[in-house]
Structure formats: structure tokens, C-alpha cells
């Protein structure tokens, strides 16, 4: 080994320092001995077995949770399938209801149209009947008025043309006519 140089370039002899030891062990030996002692205590107190048991318990708990999660997932998928089936059935039922409603609406419209046509026909017939009745009433009134006028005219004519002597002749001829029967 080369000797260390100083600032001035002169060589300084290397001095060997003695490492401190206790009972013949240097600091690295003591650290190793302490580690061996800690491991021995851990093994004596069965810490690795306790750690293993704790890890096994955690593994079992995790497996249980995974199994439960898998069961919940299956249940959720079954519920999803059930609700999907119910939704599909509801959609089909809604479509059927809409189809029936359209059919019923068409039937109602057709019935309303036929009822309206029948009503128009009835109203037209009633109007025609009312017009015919009014015509008959007008004709009857006209006949009545004409009969009254004819009666009045006839009475006036009879009164103007007939006197008491002609009335007596008329009565006598009517009596003779009654006797012949």
C-alpha cells in the first residue's frame, strides 16, 4: 500500500489503529451476536408459528370473504337476470297494452263514426218528418180556412139568393126526399 501524502508532499507513516473489542468481539461481532440472540428468543417464544397462525387466519378470512363475494356476485347476477326478465316481461306487456289500446281506440272511433252517421240519419228523418207534419198542418189549416171561406161565401150567396119563399120550397123538397127513403 502506498503511504498517504501530506500537504507538503512528504510521506507520513501509516499508523494502525486497534479496533475496540469486548471479550474478544469487535462491534460487528456484537451486532451478529445480538441478532442471533433476538432470533433465538423469537424462535423460543414461537413467534414464527404465531405469525404463521396469524397469516393463516388472515388467509382463511380473505378466502371466506372471497367466497362470500363470489356468492354475492352469483346472487346479484341471479337478481339481475330476474329483474331483466321482469323488465322484458313488463316491456312486452306494455307493448301489448299499447296494441290493445290502439285496437280499442280504432273500435271506439269506428263506433263513434257509425253512431254519428246514425244520429245524422235520425236527425234528417226527424227533420223530414217535422217538415212533412208542418206541410200537413199547413194544408189542413189552408183547407180549414178555405172551408170556412167557402162556408161563409155559400152562406152569403144563399142569403142573397134565397128568400123565405124559396126556403119553404127547399124545406118541403127535403122533407119529400126524406119520406122516399
CA distance 97 to 92: 9
Backbone angles phi, psi at 25, to 5 degrees: -115, 135
Contacts of 14 (CB under 8 A, 6+ apart): 1, 3, 4
**Cα-to-chain-centroid distance, residue 30:** 82
Are the C-beta atoms of 4 and 14 separated by less than 8 Å?
yes
Q: What is the pLDDT of residues 148-175, one digit of tens each?
A: 888 888 878 777 777 777 778 778 888 8
Question: How large is the C-alpha radius of gyration of the chain?
Answer: 69
CA distance 68 to 129: 88
Q: Work out the pLDDT band at 1, boundaries 50, 70, 90.
A: very low
Whether pLDDT at 92 is above 70? yes
Q: Work out the pLDDT band at 39, boundaries 50, 70, 90.
A: confident
More confident residue, 153 or 116: 116
Q: Work out the pLDDT band at 61, boundaries 50, 70, 90.
A: very high
Number of residues written out for the chain: 181
Q: How much is the average pLDDT of 137-153?
A: 88
Q: What is the pLDDT of residues 14-25, one digit of tens each?
A: 666 667 777 778
C-alpha grid cell, residue 22: 469486548
**Could you tell me which of 101, 78, 70 has the C-alpha nearest to residue 86?**
78
CA distance 68 to 74: 10
CA distance 55 to 13: 59
Q: How much is the average pLDDT of 75-99?
A: 94
Backbone angles phi, psi at 40, to 5 degrees: -65, -40
Q: How much is the average pLDDT of 94-104?
A: 94
> What percentage of the chain has pLDDT greater than the value 70?
89
For 20, the 3-state DSSP assignment is coil
As a whole number, the mean pLDDT across the chain is 85
DSSP summary character for residue 25: B
DSSP code string of 78-106: HHHHHHHHHHHHHHHHHHHHHHHHHHHHH
Amino acid at each position: 500500500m502506498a503511504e498517504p501524502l501530506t500537504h507538503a508532499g512528504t510521506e507520513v507513516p501509516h499508523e494502525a489503529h486497534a479496533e475496540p473489542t469486548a471479550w474478544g468481539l469487535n462491534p460487528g461481532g456484537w451486532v451478529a451476536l445480538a441478532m442471533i440472540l433476538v432470533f433465538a428468543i423469537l424462535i423460543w417464544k414461537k413467534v414464527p408459528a404465531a405469525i404463521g397462525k396469524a397469516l393463516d387466519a388472515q388467509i382463511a378470512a380473505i378466502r371466506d370473504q372471497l367466497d362470500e363475494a363470489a356468492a354475492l356476485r352469483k346472487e346479484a347476477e341471479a337478481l339481475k337476470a330476474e329483474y331483466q326478465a321482469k323488465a322484458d316481461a313488463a316491456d312486452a306487456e306494455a307493448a301489448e297494452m299499447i296494441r290493445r289500446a290502439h285496437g280499442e281506440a280504432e273500435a271506439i272511433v269506428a263506433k263513434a263514426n257509425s253512431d254519428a252517421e246514425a244520429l245524422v240519419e235520425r236527425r234528417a228523418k226527424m227533420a223530414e218528418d217535422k217538415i212533412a207534419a208542418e206541410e200537413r198542418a199547413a194544408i189542413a189549416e189552408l183547407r180549414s180556412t178555405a172551408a170556412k171561406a167557402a162556408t161563409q161565401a155559400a152562406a152569403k150567396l144563399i142569403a142573397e139568393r134565397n128568400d123565405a119563399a124559396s126556403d119553404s120550397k127547399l124545406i118541403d123538397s127535403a122533407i119529400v126526399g126524406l119520406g122516399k127513403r
